Structure 1
Amino acid sequence: MIEAKQTGAQEPVAASPDRPAVIARAFGALPDRSSCLALLRAIADETCTPGPIAPRQPLALYGAGNLGRLARDHLRTVGEDFALVVDRNAEALAASGEWTGTRLVHPDAVDFGTKARAMLAVSIVTSPYAPLEAALAAAGWRDIVPFYDVAESFRDRHPLSNGWFADPFSDDDVQSIGAVLSAWDDDLSRAHHLQFIAWRRLRQEWSFDGAPVTIDDRFFIPQILDVLRPDERFLDAGAHHGSVTVRFIAETDGQFASILAVEPDGQSRTVLEQTLGGLTSDQRSRITVRDALLDSERRTVRFHDGLGYASQISPTGTSERATQTLDGLGAAPSFVKLHLEGGELAALKGAIATLRKYRPIIAATVYHDADGIQATPAWLMDNLDGYRFLFRLHSWCGTGAVVYAIPEERR
């Protein structure tokens, strides 16, 4: 088995008096098919059972970027107060008007009394968590938690699920997960998949030499860009505000046949239309926007809308919606992107005829629920012949995980 590197670093300071700091493990080589199974067994043999963290007051947020704004809106939705937001760009953010009514503070301006009393929820996933936690502890913060672990304690009121915890693995689980690990097309996929599993099961932060977490190429990794053609028919399911559609147009230099942007949330769809309005008339004429809630079958479900990119099928929803299958859309995609807040596997099942007929490239997020550990990649591997499969992480704290499926004929 690949052994963790000896870094010479000191033992991490506790994240709180009652909770140990996140353990970081660095490995000096990528795991091959043999060593990845031994590492999976090591994860399965661990007995720790981390779980959601209930917030306490005073509560502070660290980070006012995209996740910080989501954290702010989430806490307001569930009725949880927070005292301040800490960010190195506090002055500029305050002047922007986005945080009106919120106390924004530079880290150096927070007094030690506040650091001793407050729970600090870290709302940053674009860099490793463990070093940040250690630096904050060294600066005097006494109670440091990942924001998503706090959000998980509100699942009865809000469907945001990025902080889920994996249950202990049975021997059958280890066998099934191991089969997926062995089937990835490269060792980088095995490294990222293990990193994802270690966070979800143990809240340990693993890293492997040669397996960087790349933030800026989600859905458009080199292996995808290498096989794109000038006549792609792109299906953007979970289009949100249109950033991925715009990125696709940029990556193809505007050379594409058509785009079908699917977004079920009304507020997000309004912004999506505004985004598309900034394109050239020729580009806009090749894009269709659809209001569709994708699922494995047609049925009536509760939909929690108005949550931005967290809007989704959920028992917490107050509206009822009829779902559709991707097969029922009548599309003929050559590239399918799915980002459906945990609905990806159901949408894939409702797309089986389309996938087999048109054999598109597929890029599906898998970090919103436990299906991402084994069920979603296994379904793709079992149902799509002649594909190669990759797993990539595009952010930290068990988020940003995407499974890529590329037809062999695209090599």
Structure 2
Amino acid sequence: MDKPLVLYGAGSLGRMAREYLNHVGIPVHLVVDMNARQLSQDAYWAGIPLLRPDEITPDQQQGTLLALCIVTAPYAPMANELASAGWKDIVPFYDIAEHYRDRHPLSNGWFAAPFSKQDEGAIASALECWSDDVSRAHHLQFLAWRRLRQEWSFPDARIDTSNRFFIPEMLAALGQNERFLDAGSYVGQVIKTFLLHTEKQFEHIWAFEPDAGSRAKLQSLLSDMEETRRQEIEILPWAITETEGERPFFSDLGYASQCSDLGGELVPCRAIDTLNLAPTFIKLHLEGMELPALRGAIRTLRQHRPLLTATIYHNDDGLWRTPRWLQNNLPGYALLFRLHSWCGTGATIYALPEERWPASMVATETGLTLAGDPDPCMIAAILRGHDELP
């Protein structure tokens, strides 16, 4: 860092960015947010100047690096607007974080390396495994950002930032009396949403969270449930991986806590297949450990055929390895790909067994039609790493 750092956006990502930067020893010069005046009353931001965009001086714009801490809207229009307003150096926050992976395990800003011939063929095959064209469009968007740092969009494949893990197809298949296995429960927001959608009519919940601080907050979230329902929720301190044992774990990072060689503690690990559970719905959000967790759950997946959702944006397994693994190992499943935020983040796979397909999904087996199918030249631009689209 050769100039003072300014954060743009003081929402959940802005808060996480501040904590991250404190950990790696980079001071925050100031924070810019439309709601700066209200936020200045928040003790969380004590000691850091908060300014509205119209309060920034030209010297501040020219002499600082602006880290954009917003992924709920397209990056390029925001960056262009800020540049037009006078900001000189603008980058996504996650791209800054990528430079400090030797100090902190956060990995949402990774760049995809040039693709090998194997990658090219596997990506092309993965694009064909999706059950609708929205999935193909979102996969292309994901590839374009990760390989080219270009932001593509398709008019009939909008990004919904509000429904991660509970897209319409999953809700249509979701029933009451589900047995929900939530690996990477954090503080329980997904469990809370699951309870809302099922009206608390579930059979059992297994919540796996190895971070002690997050686990305590999860316990608190569930403390107001009626006793009979709370007894059906197990909160377990294990990390879900491919094999049993112990692994280094980096805790106290909020939703970025994860298995990492940088971690200062050891946590117990379990493979889902060793637990002898019979889930009907599995969610995996494991900061890059999703594919190993799937490999450790192959018997459970084939025997019980649950609904499945897994994040795939923390490392390059999401480019093709995870979708191809699901394609090769889960016959009779429909596979969907959805982005739930921008800058290549929020990418999530959904797998629905054919016996639980909603009627609307069966009726549109060939998928949705985009306003203009993806041009093969666009795909080639990603695969070959061209800087410019044809």
Q: TM-score, normalised by structure 2?
A: 0.90
Which residue pairs with 1:76 in the alignment? Answer: 22
- Displacement of 1:286 in angstroms is 2.0
Whole-angstrom CA distance in 2 between matches of 1:296 and 1:124: 33
1:144 equivalenced with 2:90 (yes/no) = yes
Which residue pairs with 2:360 in the alignment? Answer: none
**Counterpart selection for 2:232 from 275, 283, 286:** 286
Matches for 1:139-218 after TM superposition, within 5 Å: 139-218=85-164
Which residue pairs with 1:22 in the alignment? Answer: none
Q: 5+ residue gaps in structure 2?
A: 358-390
1:95 equivalenced with 2:78 (yes/no) = no
Whole-angstrom CA distance in 1 between matches of 2:167 and 2:2: 40
Which residue pairs with 1:359 in the alignment? Answer: 305
Helix, strand or coil: the match of 1:247? helix
1:335 equivalenced with 2:294 (yes/no) = no
Whole-angstrom CA distance in 1 between matches of 2:196 and 2:258: 28
93-102 or 211-220, which deviates more? 93-102
Which residue pairs with 1:3 in the alignment? Answer: none
Whole-angstrom CA distance in 2 between matches of 1:203 and 1:86: 24
Which residue pairs with 1:247 in the alignment? Answer: 193
Whole-angstrom CA distance in 1 between matches of 2:173 and 2:263: 40
Amino acid at match of 1:102: I
- Displacement of 1:172 in angstroms is 1.9
Give a deviation string over 1:74-110, Cα, whole Å, max 9, x none. 0000111120011111111121222122211111111
Report percent identity of matched pairs. Answer: 52
Contact 2:68-2:93 at 8 Å conserved across structures = yes
Give a deviation string over 1:9-49, Cα, whole Å, max 9, x none. xxxxxxxxxxxxxxxxxxxxxxxxxxxxxxxxxxxxxxxxx
Contact 1:57-1:82 at 8 Å conserved across structures = no
**Counterpart selection for 2:259 from 295, 313, 325:** 313
Give a deviation string over 1:325-376, Cα, whole Å, max 9, x none. 1112232110000000000001111111111111100000000000011111
Whole-angstrom CA distance in 2 between matches of 1:175 and 1:282: 52
- Displacement of 1:223 in angstroms is 0.3
Helix, strand or coil: the match of 1:207? coil
**Counterpart selection for 1:116 from 38, 59, 62:** 62
Whole-angstrom CA distance in 1 between matches of 2:47 and 2:228: 42
Whole-angstrom CA distance in 1 between matches of 2:2 and 2:252: 26
283-292 or 113-122, which deviates more? 283-292
1:107 equivalenced with 2:42 (yes/no) = no
Whole-angstrom CA distance in 1 between matches of 2:2 and 2:68: 14
Amino acid at match of 2:250: H
Whole-angstrom CA distance in 2 between matches of 1:58 and 1:199: 27
Contact 2:7-2:69 at 8 Å conserved across structures = yes
Distance 1:279 1:102, change over 3 A: farther
- Displacement of 1:300 in angstroms is 2.9
Whole-angstrom CA distance in 2 between matches of 1:307 and 1:154: 15
Contact 1:166-1:201 at 8 Å conserved across structures = yes
Matches for 1:54-65 after TM superposition, within 5 Å: 55-65=1-11
Give a deviation string over 1:149-185, Cα, whole Å, max 9, x none. 0000000000000000101112221110111101100
Helix, strand or coil: the match of 2:66? strand
1:373 equivalenced with 2:336 (yes/no) = no
Amino acid at match of 1:105: L
**Counterpart selection for 1:406 from 345, 352, 372:** 352
Give a deviation string over 1:242-280, Cα, whole Å, max 9, x none. 000000000111221111111010111011111111333
RMSD: 1.0
- Displacement of 1:57 in angstroms is 2.1
Whole-angstrom CA distance in 1 between matches of 2:118 and 2:273: 32
Whole-angstrom CA distance in 1 between matches of 2:220 and 2:120: 46
Amino acid at match of 1:328: T
125-134 or 282-291, which deviates more? 282-291
Whole-angstrom CA distance in 2 between matches of 1:78 and 1:93: 24
Amino acid at match of 1:286: E
Whole-angstrom CA distance in 2 between matches of 1:290 and 1:321: 12
Which residue pairs with 1:131 in the alignment? Answer: 77
Contact 2:238-2:267 at 8 Å conserved across structures = no
Q: 5+ residue gaps in structure 1?
A: 1-54
Whole-angstrom CA distance in 2 between matches of 1:284 and 1:383: 34
- Displacement of 1:285 in angstroms is 2.5
Which residue pairs with 2:361 in the alignment? Answer: none
**Counterpart selection for 1:325 from 271, 279, 282:** 271
Contact 2:307-2:351 at 8 Å conserved across structures = yes
**Counterpart selection for 1:298 from 235, 241, 244:** 244
Helix, strand or coil: the match of 2:90? strand
Which residue pairs with 1:27 in the alignment? Answer: none
- Displacement of 1:321 in angstroms is 2.6
Matches for 1:208-247 after TM superposition, within 5 Å: 208-247=154-193
Contact 1:300-1:323 at 8 Å conserved across structures = yes
Whole-angstrom CA distance in 2 between matches of 1:171 and 1:102: 49
Q: TM-score, normalised by structure 1?
A: 0.85
Contact 2:237-2:268 at 8 Å conserved across structures = no
Helix, strand or coil: the match of 1:160? coil
Which residue pairs with 1:266 in the alignment? Answer: 212
Contact 1:86-1:107 at 8 Å conserved across structures = yes
Contact 2:68-2:90 at 8 Å conserved across structures = yes
Amino acid at match of 1:403: I
Contact 1:197-1:373 at 8 Å conserved across structures = yes
Helix, strand or coil: the match of 1:140? coil
- Displacement of 1:282 in angstroms is 3.7
Contact 1:125-1:397 at 8 Å conserved across structures = yes
